[in-house]
Amino acid sequence: MAASQGDAPAGHLTGTDARAGRVRGVAGGPWNVAAAAGSMLAPRFRFPARRRAAAPMTVPTPTDRAARWLRDLDDALHAGRADAAAALFQEDGCWRDLTAFTWALKTMDGRASIAAMLHATLARVRPTGWTLDGEATESNGTVEAWLRFETAVGRGRAVLRLRDGRAWTLMTMLAELKGHEEPAGDRRPLGVEHGAYGRGLPTWLEAREAWRAALGRTVQPEVLVVGGGQGGLGLAARLRRLGVSALVVDRHARPGDAWRSRYRSLVLHDPVWYDHMPYLPFPDHWPVFTPKDKMGDWLEAYARIMELDVWSATTCVSARRDEAADGWVVEVERDGEPLVLRPRQLVLATGLSGLPQVPSFPGAETFEGTQVHSSAYAGGAPWAGKRCVVVGSNNSAHDLCADLWEHGAQVTMLQRSSTMVARSETLQALGWGRLFSEDALRRGITTERADMTLASMPYRLLAESQKAVTAQIRERDAAFYERLRAAGFLLDFGEDDTGLSMKYLRRGSGYYIDVGASALVADGRIGLRSGVRVRALRARSVVLDDGSELPADLLVHATGFGPLSDVVASLVSSEVAERVGPIWGLGSGTTRDPGPWAGELRNMWSPTRQRGLWIHGGNLQQSRFYSLQLALQLKARSVGLPTPVQEGAPA
């Protein structure tokens, strides 16, 4: 009789695997022992007639263990046994799903949550075809395996991590919809109809111009994307490849002007490997840190090459829901002409920031110098030899102080609270570079693989891992931090020592990626007043709450922005903004990220509680990766696929 396997943890060799045919891609393992003298079919306990030397045991490889776990998962899912599938996870294991099972971005923490998700979704998802995608690996007791699978409507990718034979983490993501694959590779369009003579067929240019003339007037877009920066353009490229009509509206005169209009010295703080756009990576001679005008030119070229429909110089005035038409009525003004658009889906891709936050200081009306928010700061050239005060100490404040100093201004940074600072070189060595670098590429870590690796770690576990990374950063740059402290700079490393990445995910502020300004602060070339606040403004000075006074010809408010929900309220309504709730943040209960715990970035790339309203944004890496998940959700709705979202969020 076959040896029982019911009580053995996944990954342990216990008997014949009669299910090898259902899980594809792995052959040979220690359980594929077809007719090996019937040895694995013998009773588990049998007393031999005489003592023999023990046969050497075969130690299962990481691939063997991953394959065994995958077979057990497939068995449970195939039989509809949600509780049995959940039992294959550690008690506190996590399953992060991106669209494949839940039609949303959702993380299930613990067996009970995983079982509840599977009970709700298995009958319609019908997952099958689980396959190992290459050999599994093992490091520090954790087996990592890359997987492929299918659902009733699509094909997916997955990343699995096992500890002690059970799943520690599983990330599943929808990669494409069956019957709606992107026209790439062998499916690319021919581009010409050979032999079609004398039929008056339009050329590519004629067809393109006719479409652009009709869109928004006689033909309405399926999706309206508000915001033509990297997020909006990348999403529009995804939608175009999926055959979904999308119109991007942006208030700037040309694509890329959002970057060109910023101050002269701005460069991206993230490295080039992290910042690729969908489908068109930067060429391999591109600088590590992209200057802002170069980035603007790239985005303008991207929009043209990807044949995106962009209305520049267009302001989105208002949007209201038309329930009868299951869509939106959006009023825009294009080059001074009022127009009404009627898309089915509305995507806000205006960035993570809401409206500029400008403090109201007593005496502001008496200040005779210039006051400006950092978002309106144009450059330091007019301020050579002038006295300048910058209120704030995060990324923008440091960049602006450095720019003013470079132009010969006498500049003082006013630091009201502590700031997390990390040197760009250190982040590249200990953070980004492990996945996004030339070295990573040499190790076979493509952009796609790096993106999926990042996505495969649930946010709850990411916080713990970032404590170790932050400790390494502090040790490596101890002398750098000591110099800053000696200058009076107030440092922190996150209130729970989780560092820069978690500050970004929780609140999108409170940090500076050092690209040189910290040295100017440390040696006094940029003046610093820390731990004080503005009490009042006088004609040519800033009075602080310790009674001191700073002469000022220019006052820059590098004080950040309000929440993105303010944009929803101003564009749609305060009622809709309240219904949608907080945008961004994890609900960690830390500063500016109130609970409850959400497990995902709130309202990003997923259905919101306002039907047909979506939020897209994040840094370049997040925009690139999650734009696919958002595009697939929009495509499914455009072709009428059922998209039941778990736990009641509207579809």
Same domain, yes or no: 155 and 230: no
**328 within 8 A of 322, measured Cβ to Cβ:** yes
Same domain, yes or no: 157 and 238: no
Same domain, yes or no: 318 and 380: no
Looking at residue 265, its pLDDT comes to: 84
Residue 3 lies in a domain: no
Q: How confident is the model at residue 53 (pLDDT cuts 50, 70, 90)?
A: low
Quick one: which of 288, 180, 296 has its CA closest to 233? 296
Which DSSP category does 45 fall into? Answer: -
CATH number at residue 618: 3.50.50.60
608 Ramachandran zone, left/alpha/beta (phi>0; psi -120 to 50):
beta
Quick one: which of 425, 422, 218, 182 has its CA closest to 339? 218
Q: How confident is the model at residue 352 (pLDDT cuts 50, 70, 90)?
A: confident
**Between 610 and 13, the higher pLDDT residue:** 610
Start-to-end CA distance of the chain, whole Å, equals 50
Same domain, yes or no: 528 and 578: no
**180 within 8 A of 164, measured Cβ to Cβ:** no
Same domain, yes or no: 318 and 371: no
Residue 512 one-letter amino acid: Y
Peptide bond into 382 cis (omega under 30): no
Write the DSSP assignment of 611-636 as a string of letters.
Answer: TTEEE--SSHHHHHHHHHHHHHHHHH
Same domain, yes or no: 298 and 277: yes
User: Can you tell me the mean pLDDT for 169-175?
Assistant: 98
Same domain, yes or no: 135 and 270: no
Residue 529 lies in a domain: yes
Neighbours of 164 (CB within 10 A): 12
Computed over every residue of the chain, the mean pLDDT equals 91
**127 within 8 A of 102, measured Cβ to Cβ:** no
Residue 89 lies in a domain: yes
Least confidently predicted of 129-143, 261-275, 403-417: 261-275
Looking at residue 474, its pLDDT comes to: 98
Residue 596 lies in a domain: no
Write the DSSP assignment of 267-288 as a string of letters.
Answer: B-SS-GGG-PPSS-PPPTTS-S
State which H helix or E strand residue 373 sits in: strand 370-373
User: Can you tell me the mean pLDDT for 516-542?
Assistant: 97
Instruction: Calculate what percentage of the chain has a pLDDT beyond 70.
Output: 90
**What's the structural domain count of the chain?**
3
Residue 468 has pLDDT above 90, yes or no: yes
Residue 323 has pLDDT above 70, yes or no: yes
Q: Of 177, 202, 226, at which residue does a domain stop? A: 177
In the structure encoding, which two tokens stand for residue 118, read together? Answer: 């599977």
Same domain, yes or no: 140 and 247: no
Same domain, yes or no: 322 and 419: no
Residue 107 has pLDDT above 60, yes or no: yes
3-state secondary structure string, 75-114? HHHHCCCHHHHHCCEEEEEEEEEECCCCCCEEEEECHHHH
- pLDDT per residue as tens digits for the range 421-444: 999 999 999 998 999 999 999 999
Quick one: which of 171, 145, 146, 166 has its CA closest to 73? 166
Domain range for 248 is: 210-354+572-583+607-648
- pLDDT per residue as tens digits for the range 3-44: 333 333 333 333 333 344 445 444 333 222 222 232 222 332
Task: Please tell me whether residue 125 adopts helix, strand or coil conformation.
Answer: helix
Looking at residue 192, its pLDDT comes to: 79
- pLDDT per residue as tens digits for the range 622-649: 999 999 999 999 999 999 999 999 764 4
Looking at residue 137, its pLDDT comes to: 98
CATH number at residue 99: 3.10.450.50
3-state secondary structure string, 447-485? HHHHHHHHHCCCHHHHHHHHHHHHHHHHHHCHHHHHHHH
